[in-house]
Structure 1
Amino acid sequence: MAPCPTPAEHRDPDGRLRRVVVLGASGFIGRQVSAAVRAAGGEPLLVARRPLAGATARCLPLDLIGDGPDALSRLLDTERPSAVVNAAGAVWSREPETMRQANHTLVETVLAALAGATWRPRLVHLGSVFEYAPPPPGTALDERAPTRPTTPYGQSKLQGTRAVLAASAQGRADAVVLRLSNVIGAGTSPSSLLGQVAAQLRAAEAGREAVVRVSPLRASRDFVDVRDTADAVLAALTRPVGGQVINIGRGEAVPVRSMVERLIAAGGRPARIVEGAGAGVRTGTGLDWMQVATGTARRLLGWSARHSLDSSAQELWRAATARPAPVTGPPAAQH
């Protein structure tokens, strides 16, 4: 087995990033990570189950679970990337078995591929703060917080994280886990709360007040811009942080209602919010209060969030209005 490259080997002599394989490149975060790698002078290789229309980088169609680890091992040995970013996985409102497959089985496949390849890139795995136990309101989650998730999503993400950390501890992978808070910005999923709010605003008749129907907005969450998230990934590609878990967030709990109001302001059209139990299916996340302690990210990655939440809302709206108008429905969840 070839030795893992040292962090300095993840860059060319002139300091630029080299080739980076992005798993889940068709997703919200994967697209932004790919763009950030390219902007930093690196070469992103986009891996997704289907070819990506309009991709500006090389796309390699690959079904990570269906094709098994050997296909990814061959890709790593052929392309010899400096790093792999695992941005693949399933999100809320999926069947528990789907989340288990996408958030745990897929991770085991990636780790088996890394172990089977002769080339050893750094792995940056994207976890979730929903892996933690629900904290008391006012408590900032740091990396020492207990991991007792209360949802199938959090449980499946924690299984993936544990697999990555075990592989790192056993020397089977040079890996780091970034536990992400609520990521927002351009490309936010249309099925998310803010994605559905954007859809309702777009569907309103011109010149008339929009009615935004949502389930009760009681939660406060730590929101982080997808551009800041991509910057954290870039830092983790090259810093000596193997075997670590690092929380990524803004470090503040923001009422979900205020984010809805920011998005309405970004849309620039009159709107009123109607909250009600029947306005949407509320998915119990177990984390109605979320604030992330960011000291580890600052210390190990030299990273902190730079983009304002107003900017995040404006980017979300800009991207939403660039897409064809969807058929609207009530928000599926607060997340």
Structure 2
Amino acid sequence: MRCVRVFVTGSGGFVGCHLVARLQAIGHQVTATDREVDVSDASALEPAVRRAAPALIVHLAAISSVPESRNEPDLTYRVNFLGTRCLLETAQREAPDARILLIGSADTYGSSEPGAKAFAEDAPLRPGSPYARTKAAADLLGAEYAAKGLDVVRARPFNHAGPGQSDAFVLSSFARQAALIALSQIQPQLRVGNLDSVRDFLDVDDVIDAYLALSDPKVPSDVYNVASGRGVRIGDALDEILAIAGVKPEIEIDPERFRPTDHAVGNADRLRSATGWKPRTPLSRTLERLVQDWRERLSAT
């Protein structure tokens, strides 16, 4: 993909930081926006997009925590749905020829039964939280604007992790707690949710590879899962994190950490066929990087 002007929303988030760094390393001219530009406010968003004159827009801005979405449903609706609508309307006026990459979520599929086929893009959407419902609505809105002629590509990433991630997410939460225990900063007790849940995990670097591949205007405008296709039991991932950290804590089940999705694995055949993308980072390496990142962050405070 040739170097172009790129407008990124949500650039201060976990994935946004990784994406902006990669785009800049490649040589793209990046306009990175975060909370200083309210994506649901056209008076703030329109001049920012107009100045950037982007050939590519990557929309990452979102309330991405399921618990936060339950505590702040109105804010979640405003950012995730109204913000997406405002972005699409703005792009239609200020950057009608830009490719727009909307980052959705595999949470929109809900949960499947153990042993069921991996979710393909034509699976019914059964969102089970305010976060998932607003992301599903934004996803379908993207399809509507694509039908109007905008070059919209929708990505539905499954779980991903890596350095810099908040501990609001399961693997990062485990890694932080394990690192705290290893550094003797807390008692050897680790709080968890449903350890029998099964998820499809990717490294953030592989997710960025997928987003860059989908940014190529030669790739058809469509909806694409970003997934490994491999289900991992949460308890098995925890065991590996504890082994990496070298700790053996008492495990405490916390009902507050349970989520509406128990089993979710994705099929990324469409993405592979369109771009040749495939994940390169083994989960073991992702977990090593997570634990090391938390050790460094906690040691510095």
TM-score scaled to structure 2, two decimals? 0.90
Does residue 43 (structure 1) correspond to residue 17 (structure 2)? The answer is no
Q: 1:73 aligns with which of 43, 46, 49?
A: 46
CA drift at 1:115: 1.5
| SS, match of residue 84 in structure 1 | strand
- Where in structure 2 are the equivalents of 1:122-141 lying within 5 Å? 122-138=99-115, 139-141=117-119
The corresponding residue for 1:236 is 214
Could you tell me whether the CA contact under 8 Å between 1:251 and 1:291 is conserved in 2? yes
CA drift at 1:41: 2.3
| SS, match of residue 124 in structure 2 | coil
Deviations 1:225-278 (A, max 9, x none): 1110111110111143454110001111000112112222332x22235142xx
CA drift at 1:34: 0.8
Letter in 2 for 1:89: A
Q: In structure 1, how many angstroms separate the alpha carbons of the residues matched to 2:7 and 2:49?
A: 8
Letter in 1 for 2:26: A
CA drift at 1:323: 2.0
| SS, match of residue 153 in structure 2 | strand
Letter in 2 for 1:293: N
Identity of aligned residues (%): 26
Q: 1:220 aligns with which of 185, 198, 222?
A: 198
Deviations 1:137-177 (A, max 9, x none): 22210011111222222111001101111001111x21100
**Cα distance 1:326–1:216, how it changes in 2: closer, same or farther (>3 A)?**
farther
| SS, match of residue 263 in structure 2 | coil
**Cα distance 1:128–1:206, how it changes in 2: closer, same or farther (>3 A)?**
closer
**Cα distance 1:282–1:83, how it changes in 2: closer, same or farther (>3 A)?**
same
Q: In structure 1, how many angstroms separate the alpha carbons of the residues matched to 2:33 and 2:183?
A: 40
The corresponding residue for 1:52 is none
Q: In structure 1, how many angstroms separate the alpha carbons of the residues matched to 2:183 and 2:258?
A: 32
- Where in structure 2 are the equivalents of 1:152-301 lying within 5 Å? 152-171=130-149, 173-204=150-181, 206=183, 210-267=188-245, 269-276=246-253, 279-285=254-260, 287-301=261-275
| SS, match of residue 240 in structure 1 | coil
- Where in structure 2 are the equivalents of 1:111-150 lying within 5 Å? 111-117=88-94, 120-138=97-115, 139-150=117-128
The corresponding residue for 1:315 is 289
Q: 2:56 aligns with which of 83, 96, 99?
A: 83
| SS, match of residue 22 in structure 2 | helix
Could you tell me whether the CA contact under 8 Å between 2:153 and 2:214 is conserved in 1? yes
Q: In structure 1, how many angstroms separate the alpha carbons of the residues matched to 2:232 and 2:127?
A: 21
CA drift at 1:280: 4.8
CA RMSD, 1 decimal = 2.2
The corresponding residue for 1:302 is 276
| Number of equivalences | 295
The corresponding residue for 2:38 is 63
Stretches (4+) displaced over 6 A: none
Long gaps (5+) in structure 2: none
Q: In structure 2, how many angstroms separate the alpha carbons of the residues matched to 1:273 and 1:261?
A: 12
Q: In structure 1, how many angstroms separate the alpha carbons of the residues matched to 2:140 and 2:300?
A: 37
**Cα distance 1:206–1:305, how it changes in 2: closer, same or farther (>3 A)?**
closer
Instruction: Give 1 or 2: higher helix fraction.
Output: 2
**Cα distance 1:265–1:21, how it changes in 2: closer, same or farther (>3 A)?**
farther
Q: In structure 1, how many angstroms separate the alpha carbons of the residues matched to 2:101 and 2:276?
A: 16
